[in-house]
Amino acid sequence: MCRVITPDPVGGQSHVDDPLSIAELLRETLSGELDAMTELAARWHMIDDDDVRHALGHLIDARRKEISEIWGLLQKIEDRAFGGAGQGHKHQH
């Protein structure tokens, strides 16, 4: 994957405002959330205690909603970044 954002050599935080950099941050966030969801689902599957499984089920539902919101933000910012490229575009075979 192409890296639009380069780490600050001093180790500080840098802020971004261009759509491609924001999209990259959202993709990295989405990737981390999906990894965390995988871990949470694995724990849910391994635990036999009904109360704990029930509580984890609520956490999984909440995480699914959060992931969906991040995905929606990513789609919006990518539309902005690429100016709707590909919309209405047809390929000739």
> Residue 32 corresponds to which tokens in the numbers above?
């981390």
Asked if residue 61 has pLDDT above 50, the reply is: yes
Cβ atoms of 4 and 24 within 8 Å: the answer is: yes
Assigned domain for 40 exists: yes
86 domain residue, yes or no: no
Spatial CB neighbours of 36, under 8 Å, sequence gap ≥ 6: 63
Distance CA 56, CA 36 (A): 13
Indicate the number of domains in the chain. 1
4-44 tens-digit pLDDT: 555 555 555 678 889 999 999 999 999 999 999 999 999 99
6 within domain boundaries? no
Enclosing domain of residue 33: 20-81
Burial zone of 77 (CB within 10 Å; 0-12 exposed, 13-18 middle, 19+ buried): buried
pTM above 0.85, yes or no: no
Q: What is the pLDDT of residue 1?
A: 45
Q: Is residue 38 part of a domain?
A: yes
